[in-house]
Structure 1
Amino acid sequence: MSTQKKQGYILLVEDEENLQEALKLNLELEGYEVTCAGNGSDALKRINEEYFDLIILDVMLPELDGIGVAENVRLKNNDVPILMLSAKSTNADKVLGLKKGADDYITKPFNLEELLLRVQKLINKNKKLQDKETIEDRYQFGKNTVDFKAQTATNFRGENIELSKKEVMLLKLLLENKNDVVPREKILQSVWGYNVYPTTRTVDNFILSFRKYFEEDSRNPRYFQSIRGVGYKFTL
């Protein structure tokens, strides 16, 4: 995996090969990591397996069209931004696309510079929404205290706990998003830097450790909740 920080991960869903290649090249020149899909079914498979900051989605696709893909993504409570591309330019088509989950809609043929600006805008907006207010170096919940700088914690039993770097990153992410569900994909991308998801046990094991450290009754957790099929939540 490249160590160079990417501007964002994009899924480009376009069945017209020449256009797909041209868009991929131009997006990569802007510093984005681009994954391509040529039909709706392949797109959904990719979305279920990888993290994306943006989906560029053609409406007219074989197997499952772009409207169907967008609907499916939103049904799973995935709020990844979607930029729809369509040869259909009527207001009714635009309204339908936006109703089914698109964040923006651009008609073909389009100006490349305009497309790149819209891409940048959607990715920046998404990242701002995801970047919650940062918390202090020391954080207390219940009778537990975490010192992020020292990578240590003191729990309700008065025990001192040495935290690994990954534990600190995950704990901070959950606390910054307190009372909100953090999707598993977001956790893996933020803490592990994975675009392709590994086994979900990776995160589960860390959550089990947090319960062991900080919960008075680890079988009935008060702070660290698992939301089945979605992600995890720190409740306060």
Structure 2
Amino acid sequence: MKIFLLEDDFALNESIKDMLETEDFDVDSFYDGKEALNNIKNAYDLFILDIFVPNLNGILLLENIKKINPESIVIIMSANIDISTIKDAYSKGCDDYIKKPFNIQELLFKLTKFRKDSDIFKFDEDILFDKKLKKLLCKNKEIKLTKNEKNLLLLLINNRGKTVDYNLIENFIYDDEPTSLDAIRSLIKRLRKKFPKELIFNNTDEGYFIK
């Protein structure tokens, strides 16, 4: 399970990271909100965010994470016990809240309920996508994908059942670089051809989705 950790207290950050890694979690840690924002597009299973960090607070980061992947699991931690702050965090989509100071073992207990057994997404029994390795397999044979095709497929899977609009594709795949609709449609067309059957659907003039 790959974890994203944002905590500006160096000692606490290191303690959490060390403890989680001894439990076989894969952890990337950050100390600065702006640096963290630049890395949220990577394939993380769970985010642990302190609220009050330099340059960009955890609530704003939470909003950005949920825009990219509404199903992302986010745990907010803070010494702030103001009920309005806690309410704001939950209204923005956080999945759990832990008050500082806390026993690091308490955080581990919370993580166990979110731990996933597998990073494999199954379209059906023959077609699988490994989200961690970004590999598409059909009948146990890898189907080669470009970097953009991998990221697009991951974006669609993370938002399965929901339409992914052109703006989100532009933001996630092209890092907000201006991109034509024709370029996005061409990317979708190439990715569709990699599948032995139709698995990517479109809502006219809105975007794309998988079921």
* Band of TM-score, shorter chain: 0.5 to 0.7
**Are 2:14 and 1:38 aligned?**
no
What is the aligned length?
A: 172
Deviation at 1:234, TM superposition (A): 4.5
Aligned to 1:67: 59
Aligned to 1:107: 99
Aligned partners of 2:192 and 2:199 also within 8 Å: no
State the AA in 2 paired with 1:88: N
- Write out per-residue CA displacement over residues 108-139 of structure 1, whole angstroms, 9 at most, x where no aligned residue: 01122211011121233xx68x877773459x
The residue aligned with 1:224 is: 200
Query: Which residues of structure 2 form unaligned runs of 5+?
Result: 128-137, 145-149, 165-171, 176-185
Letter in 2 for 1:44: L
Distance, in Å, in 1 between the alignment partners of 2:33 and 2:24 is 25
SS at match of 1:165: strand
Distance 1:54 1:29 in 2: 17
Matched to 1:116, the amino acid is L
- The offset of 1:68, in angstroms, is 1.0
Q: Which residue number corresponds to residue 161 of structure 2?
A: 180
Pairwise CA RMSD of aligned residues? 4.1
Counterpart residue identity of residue 211, structure 1: K
Mapped to 2, the partners of 1:209 and 1:72 lie a distance apart of 26
Measured after TM superposition, the shift of residue 211 of structure 1 is 2.6
Q: Distance in 2 between matches of 1:120 and 1:182?
A: 30
| d(CA) in 1 for partners of 2:15, 2:194 | 51
Matched, 1:57 2:49: yes
Question: 1:75, 1:133 → 2: CA distance?
Answer: 23
**Which of 16, 21, 29 does residue 14 from structure 2 map onto?**
21
Quote how far apart the aligned CAs of 1:208 are.
Answer: 1.6
* Aligned: 1:208 with 2:208: no
Residue 135 of structure 1: which of 106, 124, 133 is its match? 124
Could you say which residue in structure 1 is the equivalent of 2:143? 166
In the alignment, structure 1 residue 94 sits paired with structure 2 residue 76? no
- Secondary structure of 2:87's match? helix
1:29-80 residue CA offsets vs partner (Å, 9 max, x unmatched)? 01011111111111111112x1100110001111111111111222334431
- Given the superposition, is the C-alpha separation of residues 97 and 136 from structure 1 closer, same or farther in structure 2, using an over 3 Å criterion? closer
Question: 1:180/1:112 Cα in 2 relative to 1: closer, same or farther (>3 Å)?
Answer: same
Query: Could you tell me how far apart the structure 2 residues matched to 1:205 and 1:96 are?
Result: 37
Distance in structure 2 (CA, Å) of the matches to 1:13 and 1:37: 5
**Overall identity of the aligned pairs, in %:** 30
Residue 207 (structure 1) shift? 5.8
Amino acid at match of 1:20: N
Compared CA separation, residues 210 and 68, structure 1 to 2 (3 A): closer
**Structure with greater Cα Rg:** 1
Compared CA separation, residues 111 and 166, structure 1 to 2 (3 A) = same
Identify unmatched segments of 5+ residues in structure 1: 1-7, 139-147, 152-163, 184-196, 216-221
TM normalised by structure 1 equals 0.58
Contact 2:32–2:53 (CA under 8 A) maintained in structure 1: yes
Whether contact under 8 Å (1:180, 1:234) holds in the other structure is yes
Does the 8 A contact of 2:50 with 2:76 survive in 1?
yes
